[in-house]
Structures are given as structure tokens and as C-alpha cells.
Amino acid sequence: IEGGAAPYEGARLETQLRRGRCFLQIKNYEGALNDFVIANHTWPEAIAPYIFLGRTYYLMDRGDLARAVFERLYASRPPATRDHATAWIAMTCASKPDLAQAHEWAGRIDNGRVRERLRSYYLGLDKRFEEAEAAARRAVEAAPDNGMSHMMLALALKGLGRFKEAIESCERAIAHDAEFFAPYHTIATIYYEVGRFQEALEYQRKSLALKPEHPPTLGNLGATLVRLGRAEEGLPYLEKSYAMAPAALTCVFIALTIDQLQGPQSLERQLKLYEQAAALDPREWFLWMNWSALLFDKLGKADEALEKMLRAEALAPGIASTNCGLGLMYEQVGDLEKSRAYFRKAIECQENAPWQDMNALMHLANALTWRSTDPETRAQGVALLEKATQLWPENHRVHAEHAVGLLENKRYDEARAALARAMAISTDYVITHINLARLNQRQGRPREAIAAFLDAAGMCPAERYDRIYGVLFELLAGARASDLGQSIDELQAHLENEIKVGSRNPQLILDLWLVIALSVREGRPAEVRTRAAELAGAAPDEEGAAVRSHAADIAWALEEIETRGVLRVNCGGDGFSDAAGNAWAGDRFFHGGRPVAAAREAAGGDAAEAESPCATAREFPFWEQGVNAYCIPVIPGDYRVTLQFAGRFSPEWEGRWFGVQLKRQTMTSEYDSRAEGPPAPESRVFEVRENDAILDIVFLPKRVGAYVCGIEVRRLAGAVKD
């Protein structure tokens, strides 16, 4: 200024542009437009006002005005700076996305290396990977020492599924520019896609060391940690990525992680996240597939789930998991022809995949083998499991899962051979041992079954404890001490020691001990009650209260059956006496679920509410994992079981649809609380023959959840042994 020069106006321009960008962030497009128009009019030689003005018009869905702004920018540039402006125009069009315009503008660039590099990138975004590869190779030929050109070639090769070549191109890009983060990021995504998560993690950390705040890498790192079983560690990375750059795919991964962690209100949070993801990018097939799976698997809403899975399949028709999901859903709604067609398509997609991912193949095979009830489909699942053993012959887990598929389809000799192959590779896998126990039991080898169970129990990890020990109910069903020889002594001693040293689930262990004492050994109820109390007294102090409480409940149940011939449980509530003078015990013997209160009118008003088992209930939500059951101790014999329900449990409730199993036999699969008219109490009566010491009532939710208000267990005359 002192030298007579014009005052510096750059600070004013920068401030105007920054305020306009802030308006863009809060979606105040009119405010942004005003700032960018002023900046563009005042300093027409600057590129940035044109670019931001065009971007604003795109966000306002005025692509015609955006194109007019860009044409004016292009025409205003001298030839020496025109390529620079044109590249910015192309990138702005691609980010909206308007790929047709991005292709057109990239084609106007005179510099061949830059032109072909950008064209390759936009062709890749358009999934035209063969053309993208050709353009990238022209860019590499024009500038073989340019790392970015090799990077574009790597992205095209990755899109074509040629992962080895893609990694090699990334390594060449790193050789030319070791400080560029993108090749490390791309190698990490390839390793993630093929299931090599530890290597993916290594390259994600290298990428973040060069660009710490890169949202896609942060999101991928979070997803990788989740796949490695470190969900709590991965969630913050996903949330940070989403906060920095909201993206539909990141939103979906957050929902899937919350599903794993099962925190408070996890279902509600997942549903909101899927809605947010759909608003961000409705073209993301992965969003619709997982949203559909949530509705189908956790809420039982087959019709709504089917609509979303069909949308996923339309967006990405060659994905095995979407076609498998459609197969399961059509089977659920009773359309077997469509179900089989989609299952066949899922298998074709898996077979035609550019690489064989073990996790993906096993997931599909197990879905067909376990979740389908159609014999033809289950056989196809077993065939896929056999294919997996040929692809990964040294993986003992693959052989073990193949054996389980054969076992569930009653191909016992083949299952034994598959288990032997798994054992030959590794003897340390608990699933192999527990399924050998199940196989021995089914083939009439009870002593070998108990021996295999004890092997499994000796290596049982904490997260599988309930599942492994729960198999004992199956192994002991109908067994007698004379069939088991010395193995029953070893098993009983093992269970008693579990109680004394502190079991992870003392209620489960005490129930199993009761089956041995009352059913297998045919002990007298009074002696069994006394011994159960002694065992509970020997439990460690920190667990003793829970064990002693359950032992007291066992004693009460056996005494009620022995002296009165009947017991009643008020599910979800406290003990009371009804109008007929019948005593109902407070809620006990449940596994899973949560207590809920009924609507007053469902129980018949104020007076009746205090005297009815329909005043409360235990609900078993569809989305809760694990066993949903009551396991009631009884003296072995025949019983009549009455389950009390309360119609539509409250006016706010969505209807429940569920099945009930007693003694592993389905008694009803279609109980539906969506009744017409006012809520009213309802009973269902079932008879169970030759029950052992635990009467297990399992609830199988199909829509929203299952529930029960009261349970009455009555012995049939002359059926109880003492």
C-alpha cells in the first residue's frame, strides 16, 4: 500500500468462500449461493468461486445452471491453465455424482496422462472396469514413473477381481511415491474382501500413518476389528469415520457392530441407522440386504424383509448372500418353487465368484444345511460343505462343519469319517468333540458319547459354555445308569466339581445333575432334594446364593409334584392365590426373556388383575440370542402342561406369533396373539409322556417375540415313579 499498489483483496475473497462453504455444510444453499456469486463476480479470474458455485447448483438439483457455470469457467481460462480448471470441473461433477458430465469434461483435458488417469477413475466409478483398465494402462504408458497412474490401474484391476495384479500395481505406486496413502488403503481393502483380516489391519494402519483423518480408512479399520472379534475396539473407528463423512456403508457397519454387541436398545438403534443409510445412498445394495436380514431374523417380518431383499438383489444381482436370503424368505412364506430357484442362483453366484472366500462359502453352505427345512436344499448345502473340504483340506474347522452338516442330515457314517479327518488335523477344537458325542449318542454308543462330552468340557471356552453343556440334555435323554457304566460316575463327579469350584452357569449344571440323579440313576425325590441342598452349600461364596436359591426352587417343585401332583408358576410376576384358591409361585425356572406387565383390561379389570396369571408375562423377544425356555424340575413321569396367554397382551403390543416345544417335540408352531376383538385370557393344553427330571418348554418366536403368562404342570394319575 505504501508503494502505491492496490489494496490486497485476497483475504476478503478467502473469507467470502469460507463462509459460503460453512453455509453448504449446514445446507443453507441460498446463503452459500449468495457468497459464491459475489466472489465470482468480484474476482472472475479465480477458479474456486466457479467450482463452489457449480457445486451449490448441483446440491440444489440445478444441474443445468451448474453446467453453464462450468462452461463459463472453461471459456474464461487461457490455454495454459485450462487443463487445471477442467480437471476440477470433472472432479466436481463426479462427486455429485454426474458421471456422464465427469466423463465429458475429463475428455477435454489436453494432457494425455492426466486425461486418461481421470477417465480411468470415472469409468471405475461407473463399474466399466475393462474400459477403466485400458485408460489406466494408457496413463501408465504416458508416465511410467507416476505413482497415481499405477494407482488407477490397481483400482481397475481390483474391480475386475484380479486381486494379485491389483496388489502388484499398488506396490509399484508405492515404489514411486512411498508417502502416498492410497495404495496402502487399496491393498487393505483387497485383503479385507478375501478374508485376510490381519493383513488388512496392517495396511490400514500404514495408510492412517500417512493420512490419519481419512474417513474411509478409519471405517475400514473399524470393520476389520469387528471381523477379528474386537467389536468394542472397532466401533469407535466406525463412529469417527461416520461423524467426519456420513456414508451409507459406514452406517450399515455401525448397525452390524451394534447387533454384535447387543447393548441397550440395540434393535431400535439398528433400525434408525438403516433408515439413515437409505437416506444417504439408496443405491447401496449392502444396506438393503442387512436391513432385510434384521427384519426377517429379529422381527419375523417376512413380507417387509422380502421387499427389501428384492431391492438388494435388483441393485446387485450376482451376490450369493442376497439370493440365499431370498431363498430362505420364500421358503418361510411357503413358495418352495421360488425358494429353490433362489438357492440355486446363490450357489451359481458362489461358484462364479472371481475368488473363493472360505467365510462366504461356509456361510452359504451352513444356511442351506441348517436354516432350510427342504431336503433338496439341505442336500445342496452338504455338497457345498464337501466342496469346502476340497478347497481347504488342511482346515480342521471346515471338516468339522462338514461333519455337522452330515450329522444333521442323518448321514452318520460319513459324519464319523469327516470328524476323523478333523481330528487328524487338530484335536483341540471343541466343536469336533461335542459333535462326536452327539454322533455316538445317535448311533447307540452312550458310553462313548459321555467320554467325548468330557473331552469337549475339558477344553470348553467361556463363550461356548452353555451351548456345550446344553448338549448333555440330548445325550442323557432316556438313558439309564446300566447303559452308561462307569462313564456316568465320571460325568456326575465332573458336574458336582463344577458346582463346588464355581460354574459359569450353576442353574444349568444343577439341572443336569438332577437329570442324572432322578432320571438316569432313578433316585428317590427326598434323597435327591437333600443331596442338591448339600451340593449348593459347597458352592463358592460368590456364587453360593444363586446355587442355593435354585436348589430351594428344585426342592419346592419336587415336593409340589410329590405331594399335590401339580405346580403353578406366575410368569413375570410374584406369587399369589387365584380366586379358586390355587397357589401360583413367583416367576422361576426361566432361561432368557424379560418380565412385562399386562394391560389392565387383558386381565379383566382391577380385582381380577390381582388374582390372575394373565396380569404379568415373561416375554421372549425375537431378537434375543440363546435359549428362550422354562426348564421345570419334575419327578420323571407323564404330565399335562397348561400354558396361559392373554390374547393381545396390551393395546400397544404388536402381535406375537410363535411356536412351542415340549421335550424337543413341537406342540404348536402357529400360536398367534393377533386375535380380533378385546384381549381375553386363553389356555393351551399339552400332554408329555415319559418326561425325565427336567420339563423343558421352549418358545420359538417367529414374529416380534413369544410370551407366556402362566404355567401349570399336572402329573397324570399313576404316572409318577418314586
**CA proximity to 377, closest of 412, 416, 418, 342:** 342
Q: Is the pLDDT of residue 580 over 70?
A: yes
Q: Do residues 585 and 570 make contact, with C-beta atoms less than 8 angstroms apart?
A: yes
Q: Is the pLDDT of residue 300 over 80?
A: no
Q: Which fold has domain 283-354?
A: 1.25.40
- Residue 721: what pLDDT? 44
Q: Do residues 634 and 682 make contact, with C-beta atoms less than 8 angstroms apart?
A: no
Prior bond of 97 cis (ω within 30°) = yes
229 band by pLDDT with thresholds 50, 70 and 90 = confident
Q: Is the pLDDT of residue 680 over 80?
A: no
Q: Is the pLDDT of residue 325 over 80?
A: yes
**661 DSSP β-pair partners:** 666, 698
563 band by pLDDT with thresholds 50, 70 and 90 = very high
- Residue 5: what pLDDT? 47
**CA proximity to 186, closest of 209, 212, 156, 213:** 156
C-alpha cell at 467: 451351548
**CA proximity to 297, closest of 316, 335, 324, 336:** 324
pLDDT in tens, 22-32: 998 888 999 99
666 band by pLDDT with thresholds 50, 70 and 90 = confident
Q: Is the pLDDT of residue 650 over 90?
A: no
From 123-132, 204-213, 296-305, 448-457, the region with the lowest mean pLDDT:
296-305
Q: Tell me 7's DSSP state.
A: P
Q: For 282-296, what is the mean pLDDT?
A: 93
Helix/strand/coil for 256: helix
- Alpha-carbon distance of 374 to 368, in angstroms, equals 9
pLDDT in tens, 41-96: 888 888 888 888 888 887 888 878 888 888 888 888 888 778 877 887 888 777 76
**CA proximity to 151, closest of 214, 95, 212, 207:** 207
Is 597 or 199 the better-scoring residue by pLDDT?
A: 199
Cα–Cα distances in Å, from 231 out to 189, 212, 228, 392? 18, 21, 8, 27
- Residue 311: what pLDDT? 96
Is domain 111-177 given the CATH code 3.40.50.150 in the classification? Answer: no
- Residue 537: what pLDDT? 86
Q: Is the pLDDT of residue 11 over 70?
A: no
Cα–Cα distances in Å, from 508 out to 188, 460, 468, 696, 710? 44, 15, 11, 12, 22
Same fold: 9-95 with 283-354: yes
Q: Give the Cβ contact number of residue 310 at 10 Å.
A: 16
- Alpha-carbon distance of 234 to 448, in angstroms, equals 43
Q: Do residues 90 and 102 make contact, with C-beta atoms less than 8 angstroms apart?
A: yes
**637 DSSP β-pair partners:** 691
Q: Where exactly are the structural domains of the chain? A: 9-95, 111-177, 283-354, 427-563, 566-715
pLDDT in tens, 129-141: 999 999 999 999 9
Q: Is the pLDDT of residue 113 over 90?
A: no
Q: Which residue has the cell 438388494?
A: 312
Q: Which is the CATH superfamily of the domain at 566-715?
A: Galactose-binding lectin (2.60.120.430)
Is domain 9-95 given the CATH code 3.30.413.10 in the classification? Answer: no
First CA to last CA distance, the chain: 110
Query: pTM surpassing 0.85?
Result: no
Average pLDDT, the chain: 87
Helix, strand, coil share of the chain (percent; to 5): 65, 10, 25
C-alpha cell at 232: 468394542
Length of the chain: 722
Q: Is the pLDDT of residue 720 over 50?
A: no
- Residue 600: what pLDDT? 42
346 band by pLDDT with thresholds 50, 70 and 90 = very high
Q: Do residues 433 and 455 make contact, with C-beta atoms less than 8 angstroms apart?
A: yes
Q: Dihedral (C-alpha) 284, 286, 292, 296: value to the nearest 10 degrees? A: 180
Is 286 or 718 the better-scoring residue by pLDDT?
A: 286
pLDDT in tens, 358-413: 888 999 999 999 889 999 999 999 999 999 999 999 999 999 999 999 999 999 99
**CA proximity to 697, closest of 622, 598, 616, 591:** 591
